[in-house]
Amino acid sequence: MHKQIYLNIAVDDLERSKSFFAKLGFTFEPKFTDQNAACMIVGENIFTMLLTKPFFSNFTSKPLVDASKSTEALICLSCDSRDEVDGLVAKAIAAGGSAPRKPQDYGFMYSHGFEDPDGHIWELAFMDPNVPMPDQTAVSAAPDAR
């Protein structure tokens, strides 16, 4: 099994991205941070590498996605409560991000999210262990709050 996860995302302005995520409470591993990249600590074994676009381009032969115009991925982080979900969204908006949709409440799961300054979508979800999860049909039939 894999021991760590490193999510790599391309950013326009590394210092702006570091400042944005620092305002949300994230810290950075100095050993893997320089003028081209910043290693953001997301969890005990989870990291996001914020890479300048020129540096990111060294790792792929495909064109980079403009995350402000196209969705490349939905990055989802678990939270310990609904309040933590809402609090992180509020911090993201205050730090210069945006909330592209309303919160979604499925009873067993509460989610909301934000876009960072580069347009990457960060989903935040709280799964309530005290509420039984419905069958998949009920979740997929739920009205979209976007």
Q: Where are the domains of the chain?
A: 1-61, 72-146
Instruction: Give the model's pLDDT for residue 83.
Output: 97
**Look-up: residue for tokens 């997929």?**
140
Residue 124 burial (C-beta neighbours within 10 Å; 0-12, 13-18, 19+): buried
Topology of domain 72-146 in CATH is 2,3-Dihydroxybiphenyl 1,2-Dioxygenase; domain 1 (3.10.180)
Tell me what pLDDT residue 145 has: 45
pLDDT at 142: 52
Arch. (CATH architecture) of 1-61: Roll (3.10)
C-alpha 117/C-alpha 60 separation (Å) is 23
Written as one string, the DSSP assignment of 95-125 is TT-B--S--EE-SSEEEEEEE-TT--EEEEE
> What whole-number distance in Å separates Cα of residue 25 and Cα of residue 35?
21
Residue stretches of the chain with pLDDT short of 70? 135-146
Question: What is residue 129's DSSP assignment?
Answer: T
Q: Do domains 1-61 and 72-146 have the same CATH topology?
A: yes
pLDDT at 100: 85
DSSP 61-95: SSPPP-TTTS---EEEEE-SSHHHHHHHHHHHHHT
CA distance 64 to 10: 8
pLDDT of residue 140: 52
What strands, in cross-sheet order, belong to the sheet with 74-78?
74-78, 121-127, 109-115, 104-105
